[in-house]
């Protein structure tokens, strides 16, 4: 599985669990778990938290896949998800990218943060 696929799967995990539970905290935990699983499969050890321990090149793939899924969700499911869902999901992932960049200090992550915040 590629990193973009991991990002798409993380988005889908969040979306699907939220639709069942309407629980953002559990949805975020499960989405993060998808990324952690991909890290484990790639042999990347989580020492602190996935946001910091995911290498920048992998982060770019995860963010790209996640953002594509976010932008395409209405077309994918045939309806516009609620603003409560989209807003909380956006905040969580944007904060995750921001925290990663606080650790990595990489201009590519900064660009992705800016791009995601313009969606």
Q: What is the pLDDT of residues 54-64, one digit of tens each?
A: 999 999 999 99
* Residue extents of the structural domains in the chain: 3-117
Question: Rounded to an integer, what distance in angstroms lies between the CA atom of residue 107 and that of residue 4?
Answer: 19
Instruction: Note the pTM of the prediction, 2 decimals.
Output: 0.95
Distance, CA of 38 to CA of 112 (rounded, Å)? 20
Question: What is the C-alpha to C-alpha distance for residues 43 and 8, in angstroms, rounded to an integer?
Answer: 20
Q: Which residue has the higher pLDDT, 119 or 9?
A: 9
Q: How many Å apart are CA 100 and CA 83, to the nearest integer?
A: 25
Give pLDDT, residue 1. 64
Indicate whether 68 pLDDT > 70: yes
3-class secondary structure, 109: helix
pLDDT digits (tens, 9 = 90+) for 72-119: 999 999 999 999 999 999 999 999 999 999 999 999 999 999 999 998
Q: How far is residue 72's CA from residue 67's CA, in Å, rounded to a whole number?
A: 8
Q: Is the pLDDT of residue 48 over 70?
A: yes
Residue with tokens 């995860």: 62
pLDDT of the residue at 93 = 97
Helix, strand or coil for residue 90?
Answer: helix
């Amino acid at each position: 599985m590629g990193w973009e696929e991991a990002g798409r799967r993380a988005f889908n995990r969040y979306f699907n669990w939220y639709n069942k539970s309407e629980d953002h905290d559990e949805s975020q935990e499960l989405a993060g778990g998808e990324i952690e699983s991909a890290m484990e499969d790639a042999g990347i050890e989580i020492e602190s938290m996935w946001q910091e321990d995911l290498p920048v090149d992998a982060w770019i793939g995860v963010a790209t896949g996640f953002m594509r899924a976010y932008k395409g969700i209405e077309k994918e499911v045939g309806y516009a998800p609620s603003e409560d869902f989209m807003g909380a999901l956006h905040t969580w992932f944007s904060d995750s990218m921001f925290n990663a960049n606080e650790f990595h200090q990489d201009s590519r992550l900064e660009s992705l943060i800016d791009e995601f915040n313009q969606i």
